[in-house]
């Protein structure tokens, strides 16, 4: 169903004619075409416009938009409008509104105020979705359909959801005695004698309950998306695709599972512009105040977002939204410097993006996102941002199919775990406010911050990364998806950092991976609990102490960073430091890479490495700062690529990918205000045509895209 391989790179914006009181349709389509835009997304935020009153549909307003788009060669993705319900529905059916953790029904006035599972919502959402699809499925401009926008925003504590949760537990455990045993409910007198004894999740402190509740919430989101997909698929054309615009790390979303429902994955990777895109940017380090759950900081953050979304299906992806101008609210306005839109686009493309759309086309003049910048600002006149986007559109068009079907290269593979993220939120290594309070410690960012430290180190050491989800190796039902002996052939270096929740089967798989010749790098907070968040009884790290040649029993929180010194034969960069936690890691048969400089902690290793048969295990016993993590990668891995070497000492980074024609493309980015000259390791040609060059000059905030000769590229395997 639907075309996963577009015939051109899709480029455009979210387009909302209905949000504006003035008619600029002819001008808008002309400007879109002149900016070399070929795709728009429409309709997803306007249920009240599609259906002003119960059963009274007004579906014709979109037709002039689609007709004019088709006239200008612009294609459209229609988003179904179920993430923002109309007031008439909320008023007629108040029971549809979601209940929060405090037992309060959501007040109307924002979005996502409703419960996905309530029968009334499902009835009305099906009715409006089917009406829209039947009306526009045959329009020649329509190439695809987007399900419920940015799903999983809120945890639903509605009474009927809680009752459904109890039913789910009955089916899974059979009786309360088994639940008592599996959850350890004798602790604090929580044992049940009847299913109705189960306390409501709003008052829960028990991690076994918490992780099960989070899985159930994600299941409800998937049930909603699956229904919408099936309703659309039954009606739409065979050549139209189905997608969802994900906002990553939403609390009621398991994006690794949800992605399997789709033809193509879309997401919205917002990022901090201006100085937020400097390569030498401490604001992108662990714990920086600019860190956010919904936007990234630093060039490595762009790369990370691309790798996260590529990993969902291990396929090229779409960007449904990104910075059309300054993002956020009226107090958060940082429009990009010249060149930064181009840099971000190329970073995403070289990590697998096959569509980039900005949000929005024309800046909204009313509502909650009035000051969220658009390509066309409030005065309605094309300005600096428009011209930046138009120049980029012309450039992308000049590459034709060269930039389609890109599969990113990688040197390191990092394991990502959605359920470890949930479990670590409940029992984090550091409270969100930065100090430890055992009874007020939830930290939704704990997993992401730890994961980012290991990703950032790879990026800054000049190594490219591929992300693999743990459920792509062993799924939630315990089924083996990717045997270790095959995995190691394509992923010889695997990082498991923050893989907090680990099953016995995954532990055994990691052992097999090392024994098959893989190099496993274990970070902190890995293998701490099982799939029910019960503490593991094996010796740390992760039950792999024999293969690791090192072990620890204790972990200490750190109130301040500890400086690190390299051990004999291993150099650490100046300012290398341990942050947040220090495991009391002791080498057994392995060797210490580095130690803490401290009168007590100095007896312990901060990192160890051990060759075992054909494989190797490296253990990192702290959350490393950027200097320490890059030093560890340099110490235990093969040298970074020659392309990375040619960028050393500059603010230039390199990324590469192989396209559908088997050509390897290289991108060089200058993340600074200084001009940079880079001598290439071998002559390459501009990817959109031209003579081979041996040296390139990069202006401030510049990008150069180069192509190897086809015979030098290897499209079948992207590890370098």
Same-domain pairing of 562 and 680: no
Inside any domain, residue 664: yes
Inside any domain, residue 508: yes
Q: Which of 608, 636, 664 is the last residue of a domain?
A: 636
Q: Which of 598, 619, 636 is the last residue of a domain?
A: 636
Residue 9 CB coordination number (10 Å): 23
For helices 25-34 and 63-71, the axis angle rounded to 10 degrees is: 40
- Assess contact for 228 and 148: CB atoms under 8 A: yes
pLDDT at 712: 47
Cα angle: 131, vertex 135, 140; to 5 degrees: 145
pLDDT at 235: 99
Q: Residue 704: left if φ>0, alpha if ψ -120 to 50, beta else—which one?
A: beta
Inside any domain, residue 4: no
Same-domain pairing of 655 and 629: no
pLDDT at 368: 93
Inside any domain, residue 59: no
pLDDT at 328: 86
Same-domain pairing of 506 and 529: yes
CA–CA separation, 11 and 390 (whole Å): 10
Which residue intervals of 440-503 are DSSP H helices?
Answer: 446-460, 484-490
Same-domain pairing of 680 and 700: yes
Inside any domain, residue 504: yes
Nearest to 477 by CA among 165, 177, 215: 215
pLDDT at 262: 98
Inside any domain, residue 590: yes
Do the strands 245-246 and 241-243 form a parallel or antiparallel pair, or are they unpaired?
A: unpaired
Same-domain pairing of 461 and 487: yes
Same-domain pairing of 606 and 674: no
CA–CA separation, 430 and 443 (whole Å): 7
pLDDT at 716: 47
Domain extent for 695? 642-712
Inside any domain, residue 464: yes
Q: How many CA atoms lie less than 13 Å away from 525 in the CB half-sphere? A: 31
Same-domain pairing of 515 and 488: yes
Same-domain pairing of 623 and 675: no
Quote the DSSP letter at residue 186. Answer: T
Q: What is the 3-state secondary structure (H, E, C) of 659-673?
A: CCCCCEEEEEEECCC
pLDDT at 717: 57
Domain at 698, CATH number? 2.60.40.1180
CA–CA separation, 216 and 116 (whole Å): 13
CA–CA separation, 455 and 199 (whole Å): 39
Same-domain pairing of 559 and 442: yes
Helix (H) or strand (E) holding 142: strand 142-146
Inside any domain, residue 333: no
CA–CA separation, 81 and 695 (whole Å): 50
Place of tokens 């409008």: 81
Q: How many CA atoms lie less than 13 Å away from 649 in the CB half-sphere? A: 5
Nearest to 46 by CA among 326, 360, 258, 332: 360
| 457-476 tens-digit pLDDT | 999 999 999 999 999 999 99
- List beta partners, residue 546: none
- List beta partners, residue 670: 652
Taking 70 as the pLDDT cut, the residues of the chain under it are 1-4, 284-292, 433-440, 710-717, 720
Q: Which of 636, 661, 696 is the last residue of a domain?
A: 636
Same-domain pairing of 584 and 667: no
Cα angle: 380, vertex 384, 390; to 5 degrees: 90
Domain at 449, CATH number? 3.40.50.880
CA–CA separation, 180 and 191 (whole Å): 6
Same-domain pairing of 479 and 619: yes
Q: Considering its fold, how many domains does the chain have in total?
A: 2
Same-domain pairing of 632 and 656: no
| 157-191 tens-digit pLDDT | 999 999 999 999 999 999 999 999 999 999 999 99
| pTM summary value | 0.96
């Amino acid at each position: 169903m639907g075309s996963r391989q577009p015939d051109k790179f899709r480029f455009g914006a979210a387009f909302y004619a209905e949000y504006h009181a003035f008619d600029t349709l002819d001008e808008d389509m002309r400007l879109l075409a002149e900016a070399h835009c070929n795709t728009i997304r429409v309709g997803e935020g306007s249920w009240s416009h599609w259906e002003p009153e119960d059963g009274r549909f007004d579906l014709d307003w979109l037709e002039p938009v689609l007709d004019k788009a088709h006239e200008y060669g612009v294609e459209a993705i229609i988003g179904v409008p179920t993430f923002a319900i109309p007031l008439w529905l909320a008023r007629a059916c108040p029971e549809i509104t979601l209940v929060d953790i405090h037992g309060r029904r959501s007040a109307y006035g924002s979005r996502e105020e409703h419960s996905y599972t309530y029968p009334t919502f499902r009835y009305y959402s099906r009715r409006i979705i089917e009406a829209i699809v039947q009306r526009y499925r045959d329009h020649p401009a329509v190439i695809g359909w987007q399900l419920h926008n940015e799903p999983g925003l809120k945890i639903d504590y509605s009474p009927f959801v809680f009752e459904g949760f109890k039913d789910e537990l009955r089916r899974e455990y059979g009786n309360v005695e088994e639940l008592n045993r599996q959850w350890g409910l004798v602790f604090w007198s929580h044992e049940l004698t009847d299913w109705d004894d189960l306390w409501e999740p709003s008052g829960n402190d028990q991690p076994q309950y918490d992780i099960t509740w989070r899985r159930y919430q994600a299941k409800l989101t998937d049930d909603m998306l699956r229904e919408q997909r099936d309703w659309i698929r039954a009606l739409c054309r065979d050549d139209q695709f189905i997608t969802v615009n994900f906002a990553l790390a939403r609390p009621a979303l398991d994006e690794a599972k949800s992605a399997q429902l789709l033809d193509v994955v879309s997401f919205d990777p917002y990022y901090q512009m201006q100085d937020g895109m400097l390569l030498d940017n401490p604001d992108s380090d662990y714990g920086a105040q600019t860190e956010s759950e919904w936007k990234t900081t630093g060039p490595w953050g762009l790369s990370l977002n691309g790798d996260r979304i590529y990993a969902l299906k291990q396929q090229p992806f779409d960007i449904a939204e990104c910075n059309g101008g300054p993002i956020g609210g009226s107090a958060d306005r940082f429009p990009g410097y010249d060149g930064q839109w181009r840099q971000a686009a190329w970073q995403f493309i070289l990590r697998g993006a096959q569509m980039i759309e900005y949000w929005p086309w024309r800046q909204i003049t009313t509502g909650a996102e009035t000051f969220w910048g658009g390509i066309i600002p409030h005065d309605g006149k094309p300005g600096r941002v428009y011209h930046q986007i138009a120049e980029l559109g012309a450039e992308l068009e000049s590459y034709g199919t060269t930039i389609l079907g890109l599969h990113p290269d990688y040197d390191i593979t990092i394991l990502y775990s959605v359920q470890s993220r949930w479990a670590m939120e409940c029992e984090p290594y550091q409270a969100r406010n930065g100090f430890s309070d055992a009874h007020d410690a939830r930290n939704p960012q704990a997993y992401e911050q730890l994961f980012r430290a290991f990703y950032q180190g790879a990026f800054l050491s000049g190594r490219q990364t591929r992300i693999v989800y743990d459920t792509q190796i062993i799924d939630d039902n315990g089924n083996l998806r990717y045997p270790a002996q095959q995995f190691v052939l394509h992923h010889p270096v695997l990082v498991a950092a923050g893989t907090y929740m680990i099953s016995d089967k995954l532990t055994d798989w990691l052992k097999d991976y090392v024994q098959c010749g893989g190099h496993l790098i274990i970070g902190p907070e890995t293998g701490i609990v099982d799939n029910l968040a019960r503490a593991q009884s094996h010796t740390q790290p992760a039950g792999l102490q024999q293969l690791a040649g090192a072990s620890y029993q204790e972990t200490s929180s750190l109130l301040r960073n500890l400086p690190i010194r390299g051990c004999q034969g291993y150099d650490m960069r100046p300012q290398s430091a341990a942050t947040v936690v220090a495991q009391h890691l002791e080498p057994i048969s392995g060797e210490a890479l580095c130690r803490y400089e401290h009168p007590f902690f100095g007896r312990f290793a901060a990192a160890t490495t051990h060759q075992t048969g054909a494989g190797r295990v490296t253990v990192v016993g702290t959350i490393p700062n950027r200097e320490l993590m890059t030093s560890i990668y340099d110490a235990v891995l093969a040298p970074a690529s020659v392309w990375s070497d040619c960028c050393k000492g500059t603010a230039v980074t390199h990324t590469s990918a192989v396209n559908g024609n088997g050509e390897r493309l290289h991108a060089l980015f200058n993340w600074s205000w200084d001009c940079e000259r880079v001598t290439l390791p071998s002559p390459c040609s501009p990817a959109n045509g031209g003579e081979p060059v041996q040296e390139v000059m990069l202006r401030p905030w510049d990008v150069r895209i180069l192509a190897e000769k086809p015979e030098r590229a290897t499209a079948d395997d992207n590890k370098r």
